[in-house]
């Protein structure tokens, strides 16, 4: 802020309010700065010459302020020298409020806005109205050769102070020309993107006999995404029993292709879709990260039919299912398959916190009985007591556990201790 601006704007009343509100000390400094001529620099000149409108405040002889909006082609407000600006005044609605006000009081206040760049220049000045007879040469300098209307008069303003304003509350707005310009600038990149999208899809990676495409993606938790895979014609898929997994080819950032396994989460009964749930492992070798970053709707893979190292028992013995974290993936499908067969079951699901537990609420809605959840990282919340779960289970129950290696080891230790036959305890480790 120039001291010239502060000296005009900060009247005794304004200073009193600043004192009352505690900002006086800050603004006082501006007034104490060595007096500077309010001379426009290159930045102000370029800004003024780029404007296609501004607001002009005048004061009537009755003391009322009046604000007029002035518009014209860019640059219609001309910089005549470092302290003088002016514009040509054309025939308008013939009210002459601003011009009339200037006859009684030559003081004006201008607001110049640059909405796209959120900038505002405020100017105090003294205005003079000039007519053809007064100074035809000066009037000619204010005229705009591209504007055909007749110049009635010119307004020349001697600058008494100016100040730039904080951009915080200026909403960016764009004129039609500015929007058109931005579209022109963005068009090559948008066209390139569109032609990439329309280009032949990349060859599917992998070398399995089944070509599957990603047809759905859902964010289940902050770190787990579900992917739906189907044949390209949404045809029937090879049957997969609960507990099965797919070997999935993944292209890493270095373009090499690796294989990762993902359990099928698909609810039994779906014959045209495999669903997998992938936890993004931030400290792994990059397989799950690459899936999260590169798999999109339409991504195609060549996979072998699902394999199954974690099948359910075929008889009618009850089951106790224990899942930790992403281990819920096969366990969910297994619980749903057992329920379809009317096999009595308990489902114990532990996670760090509720938001980390994929399918938690869906399972609560589906399994109103025998579904127990535990939180390992939330103080005061019930933690899974593996020994207790095994101890309370039916004497002929079959146990299935999938989750972190520590959980699998805890189940093994407890089953040994309780003398449960090893063939009644099945586990799948993701490591
Ligand atoms: C049968 C089966 C089913 C699976 N099902 C699922 C599933 O449904 N959902 C799912 O998200 N995952 C599943 N997985 C795991 C999955 O296959 C991947 O291993 C997982 O996505 C991580 O791959 P990655 O390349 O990101 O990380 P990886 O490099 O495989 O790392 C995985 C973990 O191992 C650790 N690790 C990696 N390298 C080393 C090392 N050299 N030394 C010590 N620790 C290391 C990392 O800290 C990380 O936590 C399954 C695995 C198997 C075998």
Instruction: Report the pLDDT value the prediction gives residue 201, as an integer from 0 to 100.
Output: 65
Instruction: Report the pLDDT value the prediction gives residue 226, as an integer from 0 to 100.
Output: 98
Q: State whether the beta carbon of 367 lies less than 6 angstroms from ligand 1.
A: no
* 3-class secondary structure, 354: helix
CA of 23 to the centre of ligand 1 (A): 59
Instruction: Report the pLDDT value the prediction gives residue 199, as an integer from 0 to 100.
Output: 65
The answer to whether residues 158 and 254 belong to one domain is no
Sign of CA dihedral 125, 131, 132, 133: negative
Mutate to test the pocket of ligand 1, among 240, 241, 261 (most ligand atoms within 8 A of CB): 261
Q: State whether the beta carbon of 279 lies less than 6 angstroms from ligand 1.
A: yes
Does residue 272 sit within a domain? yes
Q: State whether the beta carbon of 278 lies less than 6 angstroms from ligand 1.
A: yes
CA distance 383 to 210: 42
Q: State whether the beta carbon of 245 lies less than 6 angstroms from ligand 1.
A: yes
Q: Up-side HSE of residue 69: CA atoms within 13 Å toward CB?
A: 4
Instruction: Report the pLDDT value the prediction gives residue 192, as an integer from 0 to 100.
Output: 81
The answer to whether residues 279 and 344 belong to one domain is no
Q: State whether the beta carbon of 277 lies less than 6 angstroms from ligand 1.
A: yes
103, 136, 164 - which closes a domain: 164
Sign of CA dihedral 27, 32, 35, 41: negative
The answer to whether residues 371 and 274 belong to one domain is no
Neighbours of 365 (CB within 10 A): 8
Structure tokens given for 428: 């799948």
The answer to whether residues 225 and 343 belong to one domain is no
CA distance 313 to 397: 10
Does residue 178 sit within a domain? no
CA of 390 to the centre of ligand 1 (A): 27
By the 10 Å C-beta count (0-12 exposed, 13-18 middle, 19+ buried), 387 is classed as middle
Long-range pairs, 14-19, Cβ under 8 A, ≥24: none
The answer to whether residues 363 and 296 belong to one domain is no
CA of 8 to the centre of ligand 1 (A): 70
CA distance 303 to 306: 8
Does residue 242 sit within a domain? yes
CA of 260 to the centre of ligand 1 (A): 8
DSSP state of 283: T
CA of 283 to the centre of ligand 1 (A): 10
Is residue 324 within 8 Å of 347, Cβ to Cβ? no
Nearest residue (by CA) to ligand 1, atom 45, is 284
CA distance 351 to 376: 6
Mutate to test the pocket of ligand 1, among 222, 285, 323 (most ligand atoms within 8 A of CB): 285
Does residue 170 sit within a domain? no
Q: Which residues contact 9 (CB under 8 A, 6 or more apart)?
A: 124, 161, 163
CA of 430 to the centre of ligand 1 (A): 6
Nearest residue (by CA) to ligand 1, atom 5, is 262
CA distance 379 to 213: 42
Is residue 151 within 8 Å of 90, Cβ to Cβ? yes
CA of 284 to the centre of ligand 1 (A): 7
CA distance 159 to 271: 79
DSSP state of 397: -
CA distance 228 to 209: 18
CA distance 380 to 369: 23
Instruction: Report the pLDDT value the prediction gives residue 27, as an integer from 0 to 100.
Output: 81
Give the DSSP letter string of 114-174.
ETTTTEEEEEEEEEEEE-TTT-HHHHHHH--TT--SPEEEEEEEEEEEEEE---TT-----
CA of 373 to the centre of ligand 1 (A): 24
Nearest residue (by CA) to ligand 1, atom 22, is 288
CA of 355 to the centre of ligand 1 (A): 21
The answer to whether residues 285 and 369 belong to one domain is no
CA distance 314 to 55: 83
- The CATH number of residue 398's host domain is 3.40.50.80
Q: State whether the beta carbon of 402 lies less than 6 angstroms from ligand 1.
A: no
For the beta sheet containing 84-90, the strands, ordered from the edge strand earlier in sequence to the opposite edge, are 65-71, 53-59, 107-114, 119-130, 151-164, 84-90, 78-81
The answer to whether residues 74 and 108 belong to one domain is yes
As for how many domains the chain has, the answer is: 3
By the 10 Å C-beta count (0-12 exposed, 13-18 middle, 19+ buried), 296 is classed as exposed
Mutate to test the pocket of ligand 1, among 281, 331, 332 (most ligand atoms within 8 A of CB): 281
Predicted ipTM?
A: 0.91
CA of 230 to the centre of ligand 1 (A): 24
Structure tokens given for 297: 């709707």
The answer to whether residues 89 and 133 belong to one domain is yes
Structure tokens given for 238: 């090879």
Largest CA distance in the chain: 115
CA distance 323 to 336: 14
Is residue 344 within 8 Å of 371, Cβ to Cβ? no
Q: What does each of the 431 residues of the chain score in pLDDT, given as a tens digit?
A: 778 899 999 999 999 999 998 888 878 877 777 777 899 999 999 999 999 999 999 999 999 999 999 998 899 999 999 999 999 988 777 889 999 999 999 999 999 999 988 899 999 999 999 998 888 889 989 988 777 677 889 999 999 999 998 777 888 889 888 898 889 988 888 888 777 767 666 789 999 999 999 999 999 999 999 999 999 999 999 999 999 999 999 999 898 999 999 999 998 888 999 999 999 998 888 999 999 999 999 999 999 999 999 999 999 999 999 999 999 999 999 999 999 999 999 999 999 999 999 999 999 999 999 999 999 988 888 899 999 999 999 999 999 999 999 999 999 999 999 999 999 999 999 98
User: Which atom of ligand 1 lies closest to the CA of 260?
Assistant: 17
The answer to whether residues 66 and 41 belong to one domain is yes
CA distance 123 to 110: 5
- The CATH number of residue 220's host domain is 2.40.30.10
- Tell me which residue range forms the domain holding 420: 319-428
The answer to whether residues 421 and 323 belong to one domain is yes
Does residue 205 sit within a domain? no
């Amino acid at each position: 802020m120039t001291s010239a601006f502060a000296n005009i704007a900060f009247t005794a009343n304004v200073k009193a309010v600043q004192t009352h509100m505690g900002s006086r000390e800050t603004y006082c400094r501006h007034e104490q700065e060595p007096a500077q001529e309010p001379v426009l620099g290159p930045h102000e000149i370029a800004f003024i010459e780029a404007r296609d409108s501004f607001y002009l405040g005048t004061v009537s002889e009755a003391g009322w302020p009046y604000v007029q909006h002035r518009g014209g082609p860019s640059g219609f407000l001309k910089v005549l020298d470092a302290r003088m600006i002016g514009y040509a005044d054309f025939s308008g609605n013939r009210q002459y409020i601003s011009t009339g006000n200037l006859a009684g009081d030559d003081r004006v206040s201008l607001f110049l806005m640059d909405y796209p760049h959120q900038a505002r220049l405020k100017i105090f000045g003294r205005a003079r109205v000039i007519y053809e007879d007064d100074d035809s040469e000066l009037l000619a300098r204010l005229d705009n050769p591209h504007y055909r209307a007749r110049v009635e008069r010119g307004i020349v303003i001697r600058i008494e102070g100016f100040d730039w304003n904080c951009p915080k509350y200026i909403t960016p707005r764009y004129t039609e020309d500015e929007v058109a310009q931005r579209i022109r600038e963005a068009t090559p990149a948008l066209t390139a993107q569109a032609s990439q999208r329309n280009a032949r899809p990349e060859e599917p990676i992998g070398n399995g006999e089944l070509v599957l495409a990603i047809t759905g993606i859902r964010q289940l938790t902050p770190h787990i995404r579900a992917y739906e895979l189907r044949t390209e014609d949404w045809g029937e898929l090879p049957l997969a029993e609960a507990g099965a997994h797919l070997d999935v080819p993944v292209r890493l950032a270095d373009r090499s292709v690796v294989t990762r396994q993902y359990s099928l989460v698909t609810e039994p009964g779906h014959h045209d879709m495999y669903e997998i749930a992938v936890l993004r492992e931030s400290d792994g070798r990059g397989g799950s990260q690459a899936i999260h970053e590169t798999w999109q709707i339409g991504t195609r893979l060549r996979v072998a039919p699902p394999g199954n190292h974690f099948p359910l028992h075929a008889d009618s013995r009850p089951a106790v299912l224990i899942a930790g974290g992403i281990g819920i993936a096969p366990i969910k499908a297994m619980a749903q398959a057992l329920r379809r067969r009317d096999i009595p079951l308990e489902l114990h699901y532990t996670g760090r916190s509720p938001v980390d537990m994929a399918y938690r609420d869906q399972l609560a809605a589906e399994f109103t009985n025998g579904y127990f959840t535990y939180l390992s990282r939330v103080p005061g919340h019930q933690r899974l007591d593996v020994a207790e779960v095994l101890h309370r289970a039916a004497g002929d129950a079959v146990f299935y556990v999938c989750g972190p290696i520590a959980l699998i080891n805890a189940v093994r230790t407890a089953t040994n201790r309780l003398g449960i036959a090893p063939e009644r305890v099945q586990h799948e480790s993701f490591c």
